[in-house]
Amino acid sequence: MHAPRTSLVIHRIFHPTDFSEDSQVAFAHALKLALAYRAELTIMHVDPEVSPEGFEDFPRVRPTLAKWGLLPESSAKGDVTRLGLHIRKVRALASDAKQAIIHHLTAAPTDLMVLATHQHEGFARWVHHSLAEPVSRHMHVKTLFVPSHVQGFVDRETGNTSLNRLLLPISLTPPSQPAIDAATALVSQLNVSPVTLTLVHAGQEPDPTALVLPDKPDWSWNQLFGQGDPVEWVLAAGAEFDVDVIVMATKGQDSVLDMLRGSTTERVLRGARCPVLAIPAPLV
């Protein structure tokens, strides 16, 4: 029997926002995770031309915590700190949001990035110049992507967590154990149960007996084996089991085909109907 490992150590969470409805959903996830990990949460917005003073248009932390029943309606900033939260708000004046975010993260690295991503296919994807995927890949940072029009596993109104069904794509390259460790650490930190974790093997897969799968009374492990396009297998399994999150290791783009079609993780992200937690493979 293996105890859950703790590979998802989080002290700093970074959440870029464009103030859209989709970003509000991602903000709820960032705030919930910051609470669970007692982490510093940095919220950043990039203005292309005029940078207003103040942060009145930023996502509201105290009203959200009050709505979740964690603070009184007339709370003070000190009440937020007593919850173990540390909030930073950053407004940048830049025409290139991607470069502004990369610049900020280079100066102030984060343990986890949480952001909304818009799903586009074909020509629409090229003209929208997707921001989330290249930023995550460039910075080599653990990233929780919350696709557009997806509620996710954190209820915006109550702050309650529904993280009972997880899907973990398994591969030889990149190695999948870091994603397994991250998934089980996340479930343990959020203290949810019961939990079903489904491993999806497609194509050439590692020896399942070599994987460390933590054993807890209220956890169950399933394994699916198949041949063919791993992206199709992952998306089909996600729909079949109505999963709450997909957790997968990623190595970014490493071939001409990947540059045209996107990496496996990016292709999963574009078709997923739930959040995707991407765990970068260790740098060698």
DSSP 140-198: T--EEEEETT---SB-TTT--B---EEEEEE-TTTTSHHHHHHHHHHHHHHT--SEEEE
| pLDDT for 260 | 39
pLDDT digits (tens, 9 = 90+) for 36-60: 999 999 999 988 776 667 788 899 9
Determine, yes or no, domain membership for 215.
Answer: yes
Same domain as 139, residue 30: yes
Same domain as 110, residue 70: yes
Residue 257's pLDDT band (cuts 50, 70, 90) = very low
Residue 7's pLDDT band (cuts 50, 70, 90) = low
Same domain as 172, residue 112: no
Residue 266's pLDDT band (cuts 50, 70, 90) = confident
Same domain as 212, residue 120: no
Task: Give the domain CATH number at 74.
Answer: 3.40.50.620
Total domain count for the chain?
Answer: 2
| pLDDT for 32 | 97
pLDDT digits (tens, 9 = 90+) for 123-173: 333 333 455 556 666 567 899 999 888 899 999 999 999 999 999 998 877
- Please identify, among 113, 147, 181, the residue that sits at the C-terminal boundary of a domain: 147
- For the segment 205-214, the average pLDDT, to the nearest whole number, is 75
Same domain as 142, residue 269: no
Residue 2 has pLDDT above 90, yes or no: no
Same domain as 194, residue 70: no
Determine, yes or no, domain membership for 1.
Answer: no
Same domain as 16, residue 73: yes
The domain in which residue 67 lies consists of 12-147
Same domain as 239, residue 136: no
Integer Cα distance of 144 and 245 in angstroms: 9
Determine, yes or no, domain membership for 153.
Answer: no
Determine, yes or no, domain membership for 209.
Answer: yes
Integer Cα distance of 201 and 278 in angstroms: 17
Integer Cα distance of 184 and 162 in angstroms: 15
Determine, yes or no, domain membership for 3.
Answer: no
Q: What are phi and psi of 252, to 5 degrees?
A: 75, -165
Across all residues in the chain, what is the average pLDDT?
A: 83
Most confident of 89-93, 157-161, 277-281: 157-161
Same domain as 186, residue 122: no
**Amino acid symbol at 69:** G
Determine, yes or no, domain membership for 6.
Answer: no
Most confident of 27-36, 49-58, 113-122, 270-279: 27-36
- Please identify, among 147, 173, 208, the residue that sits at the C-terminal boundary of a domain: 147
Determine, yes or no, domain membership for 195.
Answer: yes
Determine, yes or no, domain membership for 218.
Answer: yes
Residue with the larger pLDDT of the pair 68 and 249: 68
Same domain as 179, residue 83: no
Same domain as 141, residue 170: no
Residue 199's pLDDT band (cuts 50, 70, 90) = very high
* Strand-by-strand arrangement of the 245-250 sheet: 86-93, 40-47, 12-16, 112-117, 143-147, 276-280, 245-250, 165-170, 195-202, 219-226
Same domain as 116, residue 25: yes
